[in-house]
Amino acid sequence: MTDNKISKSNPWWKSAVIYQIYPRSFADSNQDGIGDLQGIISKLDYLEHLGIDAIWLSPVCKSPQDDNGYDISDYQDIDPIFGTLQDMEALIAKAKEHHIRIILDLVLNHSSDEHIWFQEAKKSRENPYHDYYVWRDGTKGTPPNDMRAAFGGSAWEWVPELQQYYFHQFSVKQPDLNWENPKLRQEIYNMINWWIKKGIGGFRLDVIDQIAKEPDKRITNNGPRLHEFIRELSRETFQKADLVTVGEAWGATTELAKLYSNPDNSELSMVFQFEHICLDQMAGKEKWDLAPLPFLKLKEVFERWQTELYEKGWNSLFWNNHDLPRIVSRWGNDGKYRVESAKMLAILLHGMQGTPYIYQGEELGMTNIQYEIKEYRDIESLNLYQERLQKGYQKEEIMRSLYAKSRDNARTPMQWNDKENAGFTEGKPWIKVNPNYKEIHAKRQLTEENSIFKCYQKLIRLRKEYSVFVDGKFRMLCKEDASVFAYTRENEDFQLLVICNFYDKTIRNPLEEPEPSAKLLISNYLKIDTNTVLRPYEARMYLKDFRKSLNS
Ligand code: GLC
Ligand code: CA
């Protein structure tokens, strides 16, 4: 960053852009059809060229892959499908040469049932590891209560040998860890410190707001001891190094996010909150019951997070991840205006305050997929299909939900070029490639003048060039406008103005012309002939430099 020193109140991750890799689907180096660590190493040039500062790696630790690695059986080893510990060390070292840090995905709410702790825990009630998990007495067929697991079915699983149930918020193969047990917590800290010594640049903490569960009270997230646990975790591990930490917190409100990301650094750098991306769920609807985007609500949510965390916490900015559908298909337009709308969504998000996350392929405008049911791989999607069939839903209706919301939308192989399997593998890919790879791929966008890739590349560069991206105060404009998303960011030296048409119709521009002194930093149409209209998905970002007007 040119005009902003990095300090305690301005750590490196405030001007950073983070790129999420879903290793299975990124690049396959040994042609077994599954992406791996050597594959990632081979793409570091690409990532440095894009300009990102860090990679968040979805889990690569040893795992039976019941939930694609979010079920870890050894936190201190790499799963053979991804490579070895040496490959991981090589990735950390080589990434560093490319000025890229590696962020590990820590799954601390649960382990795999194949983890040695659980194997021991279920041997007897007296076993020293028994209390590492959450057990309740009961009788077969009558679980302690009717809590449901996120991937369907009861949250309680009967173990006849012990005449006890264990608690699992996700699949039966993901037993919940018992954070009430201090010995377990200490083992976790030792493990994290071991990774920190290896040169890890930070951690993403999977469903961290669920670790303090209290199933007897039906509490899953935001349990009473949650922030006590996180503060201890942070003190024992993260605070000892210069790391970025981001917690996944589905239940976060702005008030809670200020606790998590308090600049005093007692907890985490920031959290992923989902209010903007799960507007229907927040309104009490089920994820799978589709509804149109409540646009004014979306604006209200962004405004609230931008305003309330200003100087009191830190936002993460994202549209996509490995659990969400592709944003260009969801709120953009993956047909005629794919390029324009993908860029609009990028410009809109990257002008805001917080650390942006780009999910692999987002920088190419990769789209959702429509598979046949047998081609889906995601445990959540497959369980939903069975569950809804049994409940009497029509097949077509279930498929429509999957097309819109299945996590596999984000998990199709990365589209590198127009060769077979999009250049992802020469083997048989673990999940089918999106057939649109012949048109949408990295190789083409690297050379094309005005590609989506180039737009992301420029946005990343701009964030490092002007301090206003980091500390500018946010103000929402045109609040009641049903198609325009516009705001300013302002600090002592600059004013940034972002104006976006969120829809596919040409509309009258509700803003006055920007002052002649404002410079157009980036836009998604080649020429701007008039300020009176905004074309479909048109987005513009202007910068006013107050320092210049002072000097002249
Ligand atoms: C998080 C992950 C998701 C996983 C779940 C259970 O939500 O992002 O992929 O299935 O936690 O670990
Ligand atoms: Ca492989």
Residue in 75, 112, 170 to alter for ligand 1 test, most ligand atoms within 8 A of Cβ: 170
Q: Which residues pair with 543 in a beta bridge?
A: 496, 519
Report yes or no: 165 and 146 within 8 Å, Cβ to Cβ.
Answer: no
Query: Does 8 have pLDDT greater than 80?
Result: no
Distance of CA 413 from the midpoint of ligand 2 (Å): 12
Residue in 70, 106, 205, 273 to alter for ligand 1 test, most ligand atoms within 8 A of Cβ: 70
Report the C-alpha gap between 344 and 355 in whole angstroms: 18
**What is the predicted pLDDT for the residue at 4?**
42
Which phi and psi (to 5°) does residue 235 adopt?
-65, -40
pLDDT tens sequence across 247-304: 999 999 999 999 999 999 899 999 999 999 988 776 778 889 988 999 999 999 999 9
Q: Which atom of ligand 1 is nearest to the CA of 407?
A: 9
378 is catalytic: no
Query: Does 66 have pLDDT greater than 60?
Result: yes
Distance of CA 178 from the midpoint of ligand 1 (Å): 18
The label of the residue with tokens 């210049």 reads 548
Which residues have C-beta within 8 Å of that of residue 424, sequence separation ≥ 6? 25, 26, 27, 28, 35, 413, 414, 415, 416, 433
Neighbours of 438 (CB within 10 A): 12
Q: Which atom of ligand 1 is nearest to the CA of 67?
A: 10
Report yes or no: 69 and 173 within 8 Å, Cβ to Cβ.
Answer: no
Confidence at 342, pLDDT banded by 50, 70, 90 = very high
**What is the predicted pLDDT for the residue at 280?**
74
Q: What is the CA radius of gyration of the chain?
A: 24
Q: Which residues pair with 424 in a beta bridge?
A: none
pLDDT tens sequence across 149-186: 999 899 999 999 999 999 999 999 999 999 999 999 99
What's the average model confidence in pLDDT over 461-470? 97
Residue 527 to residues 335, 506, 523, 535: CA-CA distances in angstroms?
22, 15, 9, 11
55-84 exposure pattern, b = at least 16 Cβ within 10 A, e = fewer = bbbbbbbbbebbbbbbbbbbbeebbebbbe
Report yes or no: 50 and 19 within 8 Å, Cβ to Cβ.
Answer: yes
Distance of CA 407 from the midpoint of ligand 2 (Å): 21
**What is the predicted pLDDT for the residue at 550?**
63
Q: Whose CA is nearest to atom 12 of ligand 1?
A: 70
Which member of 28, 67, 87, 206 is catalytic? 206
**What is the predicted pLDDT for the residue at 184?**
98
Distance of CA 190 from the midpoint of ligand 1 (Å): 23
| % of the chain beyond a pLDDT of 90 | 92
Neighbours of 223 (CB within 10 A): 20
**Quick one: which H or E segment has residue 296?**
helix 295-308
Q: Is the dihedral of CA 401, 292, 348, 526 positive or negative?
A: positive
Q: Whose CA is nearest to atom 5 of ligand 1?
A: 70
Residue 405 to residues 139, 372, 499: CA-CA distances in angstroms?
37, 15, 28
What residues are in contact with ligand 1 under a 6 Å CB criterion? 67, 70, 107, 170, 206-207, 248, 322-323
Q: Whose CA is nearest to atom 9 of ligand 1?
A: 323
Which member of 53, 79, 176, 248 is catalytic? 248
Query: Does 403 have pLDDT greater than 50?
Result: yes
Confidence at 1, pLDDT banded by 50, 70, 90 = very low
**What is the predicted pLDDT for the residue at 3?**
41
DSSP conformational letter for 31: S
206 is catalytic: yes
Neighbours of 24 (CB within 10 A): 26
Q: Which amino acid is at 442?
A: A
Query: Does 469 have pLDDT greater than 70?
Result: yes
Tokens (6 digits) for 263? 């600049």
Distance of CA 328 from the midpoint of ligand 2 (Å): 28
Q: Which ligand is nearest to the CA of 81?
A: 2
Query: Does 70 have pLDDT greater than 90?
Result: yes
Which residues have C-beta within 8 Å of that of residue 333, sequence separation ≥ 6? 340, 341, 504, 536, 537
Query: Does 223 have pLDDT greater than 80?
Result: yes
Q: Whose CA is nearest to atom 6 of ligand 1?
A: 70
Report yes or no: 357 and 321 within 8 Å, Cβ to Cβ.
Answer: yes
